């Protein structure tokens, strides 16, 4: 069912109104602002339900941002995700590592909406950030004005204005959505350019990637644990926000193929940071950098999943920007 999962990629550009200090990693700051303002729009409870949404069928906040696993989902997929599914969005701070901004500075980020229900609510997501920017994001407050919101469309991520100077430019057309068919198109283009079986891959890990294998944190970019984390995430998102789980008959052969891929060389480092939460500072860690892989078999069947995964990220803290990567051939 992964073929039916649609994504909508949005790029926000703000003009900063006053000097502000910023965290090194800004995704969680953006996430908390988004949740705060969407809760004000959607949540019917006096305050957000401490034990998760109590009315997910009626509450968009619970359905999209704090979804509970459903009893009718297959037991294997429920074991993978636990009691809660990932939210229907991911944020990306575009590797902006500034720790301060001044009045007049630009500030931009990406928001990817996952699944048709979230996509239909894209005006609410935009409105939440319009209000958040004016009232202030994070502590101390990052205040500014959203100058434009662009759609990132097609295989190349071509920017198409959606909101410019507070003037609406029209709703997204059908070709604005990112789907598995786009992943297949990219794969065909990339494979055609090589004019030979694809046996080499190049991955750029743009934000900390933290994955586990048999309960242990993987500190080097081996392909098998990373690919298994990617397939697991796509399976869960397809079930929670798409048309149903990705069938084992489709993803199983990809895992077998991934097991044959070997790490040839890497230039990565283990990055450690932190994020602030109500429970105190929480570790934010993972490997970043580049890695090159080789395999004895043709890797073209893997390429669509690798391409699609770029926009939903892989591993821990994916929702606020960790696990972002780029894939290339050769």
Give the pLDDT mean for 214-220.
90
Q: Say yes or no: 23 and 144 in one domain.
A: yes
In this structure, the answer to whether residues 141 and 187 fall within a common structural domain is no
- Higher per-residue pLDDT: 324 or 62: 324
Q: Containing domain of residue 269, as a range?
A: 180-329
Express each pLDDT in 103-145 by its tens digit.
999 999 999 999 999 999 999 999 999 999 999 998 878 999 9
Mean pLDDT, rounded, for 28-45? 90
Q: In the prediction, which pLDDT does 192 show? A: 78
What is the Cα Rg of the chain in Å?
A: 20
Is residue 280 pLDDT above 60, yes or no? Answer: no
210 and 96 together in one domain: no
271 and 128 together in one domain: no
In our burial notation (b when 16+ CB lie closer than 10 A, e otherwise), range 68-79 reads: bbeeebeeebbe
Are 256 and 121 contained in the same domain? no
In terms of domains, do 23 and 115 share one? yes
- Mean pLDDT along residues 241-258: 95
Domain termination residue (choose one: 121, 154, 176): 176
Mean pLDDT of 199-216: 94
% of the chain with per-residue pLDDT over 70:
94
| For range 90-96, the mean pLDDT | 97
pLDDT at 46: 66
Where residue 52 falls among pLDDT bands split at 50, 70, 90?
low
Task: Indicate the pLDDT class of residue 308, thresholds 50, 70 and 90.
Answer: very high
Number of domains in the chain: 2
Are 222 and 167 contained in the same domain? no
The gap between the terminal CA atoms of the chain, to the nearest Å, is 30
**Higher-scoring residue by pLDDT: 115, 59:** 115
| 23 touches 107 (CB < 8 A) | no
Q: pTM for this one?
A: 0.94
What is the pLDDT averaged over residues 58-85? 88
């Amino acid at each position: 069912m992964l073929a039916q999962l649609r994504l909508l990629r949005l790029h926000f550009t703000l003009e900063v109104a006053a000097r502000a200090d910023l965290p090194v990693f800004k995704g969680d700051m953006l996430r908390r602002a988004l949740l705060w303002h969407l809760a004000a729009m959607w949540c019917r409870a006096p305050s957000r339900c401490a034990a998760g949404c109590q009315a997910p069928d009626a509450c968009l906040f619970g359905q999209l941002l704090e979804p509970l696993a459903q009893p009718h989902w297959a037991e294997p997929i429920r074991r993978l995700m636990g009691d809660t599914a990932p939210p229907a969005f991911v944020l990306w701070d575009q590797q902006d590592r500034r720790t301060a901004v001044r009045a007049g500075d630009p500030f931009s980020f990406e928001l990817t909406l996952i699944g048709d229900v979230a996509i239909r609510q894209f005006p609410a997501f935009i409105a939440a950030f319009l209000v958040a920017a004016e009232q202030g994001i994070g502590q101390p407050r990052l205040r500014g004005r959203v100058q434009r919101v662009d759609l990132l469309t097609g295989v190349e991520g071509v920017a198409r204005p959606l909101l410019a100077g507070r003037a609406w430019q029209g709703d997204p057309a059908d070709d604005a959505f990112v789907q598995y068919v786009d992943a297949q198109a990219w794969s065909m283009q990339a494979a055609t350019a090589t004019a030979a079986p694809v046996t080499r891959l190049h991955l750029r890990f743009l934000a900390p990637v933290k994955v586990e294998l048999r309960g242990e944190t993987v500190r080097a970019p081996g392909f098998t644990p990373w690919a298994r984390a990617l397939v697991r995430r796509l399976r869960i998102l397809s079930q929670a926000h798409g048309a149903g789980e990705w069938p084992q008959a489709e993803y199983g052969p990809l895992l077998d193929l991934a097991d044959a891929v070997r790490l040839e060389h890497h230039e990565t480092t283990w990055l450690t940071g932190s994020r602030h939460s109500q429970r105190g500072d929480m570790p934010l860690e993972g490997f970043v950098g580049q890695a090159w892989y080789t395999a004895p078999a043709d890797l073209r069947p893997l390429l669509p999943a690798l391409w699609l995964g770029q926009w939903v990220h892989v591993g821990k803290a994916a929702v606020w920007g960790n696990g972002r990567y780029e894939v290339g051939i050769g």
